Amino acid sequence: MPSITVVGSVNRDLVLTVEDLPRPGETVLARGFVEGVGGKGANQAVAAARLGSQVRLVARVGADGEPIRRVLAAEGVDLDAVLTAPDARTGIASVVVDRAGENTIVVNPGANAVLSVEDLPQWLARTPGEVVLVQHEVAADVVEAAVLRAREQGGTVVLNPAPARPVAPAALAAVDVLVPNLGELAALLGAEPVSGLAAARALLERAGLPCGAVVVTLGADGALIKQPGRPAVHLPAPVVDAVDTVGAGDTFCGALADALARGADLPAAAARAVRAASLAVTGLGAQSSMPYPAQLDTVP
């Protein structure tokens, strides 16, 4: 089985569905409510596990985290490196989703903020080439230490720099595949936000980031890949009826890691990740519509 280690966050997701997102000062009534497991680390771990990878999660939950552990264990995620912060609550994400599938999210980090460099296992990449997947919902020093340790151990390092914040130059140089969305790419470059495929391609072509490759997720427009010495390549997304876009980016990252761990080249891995993310937006909640392999085979 392909092997992946995910270092990241675990949250309780509280998801409210509404007709339209509230404006500042406005109160709206929800049409529905769903509670589930989320956090970028947990989401990406589940996405990869559903596609058949052996996934180990490195994270922290609070003293209230036993129900979340049960959910993740049922998905086949290895929880040996998920520690309990006895004096903290598990992180909480309040998510509001409108009828078009757009959302706003507010996160209280909780136990995620307690995850420290000392909590990282000695071996993140347990075998050469093992994929180590990291995101920004934990402390910056944890991200940097995880990236550098995985690189030293011969791992394939994938960094999803979300939420957007600066990345230490040494850590960025140690990343094999950087996976930002368009806003996060602009933030990393200190550039003004852009929109549209042509502007995204132009921004990526002149980015000059010191990492290996960059894969920019573009939502309904799919993704752009930039590998060293090659022009950017666009991967369009299949057309689907979007219900909830929460978790689409995490599904992309988990599916990308799964494909890379199986030995796929980056264009093939990213194409598979685009299909997986497209399926993920067809249901409510971050994890409910994350696909299994048989479902991916139905998407052109």
Nearest partner of 212 among 171, 183, 249, 251, judged by Cα: 171
Query: What is the rounded distance in angstroms from the CA atom of residue 280 to the CA atom of residue 300?
Result: 15
Task: Answer yes or no: are the C-beta atoms of 36 and 13 closer than 8 Å.
Answer: yes
Query: What is the rounded distance in angstroms from the CA atom of residue 159 to the CA atom of residue 136?
Result: 8
Query: What is the rounded distance in angstroms from the CA atom of residue 89 to the CA atom of residue 92?
Result: 8
Find out whether the peptide bond into 169 is cis, omega within 30 degrees of 0.
no
How does 195-227 read in b/e, with b if 16+ C-beta sit within 10 Å? eeeeebbebbeebebebbbbbbbbbbbbbbbbb
φ and ψ of 189, to 5 deg: -90, -5
Structure-token pair, residue 32: 């529905």
- Provide the terminal-to-terminal Cα distance of the chain, rounded to the nearest Å: 25
φ and ψ of 56, to 5 deg: -110, 130
Q: Which residues are catalytic?
A: 250
Nearest partner of 132 among 150, 152, 112, 153, judged by Cα: 150
Q: Is 3 helix (H, G, I), strand (E, B) or coil?
A: strand
Q: How far is CA 269 from the centre of its chain?
A: 15
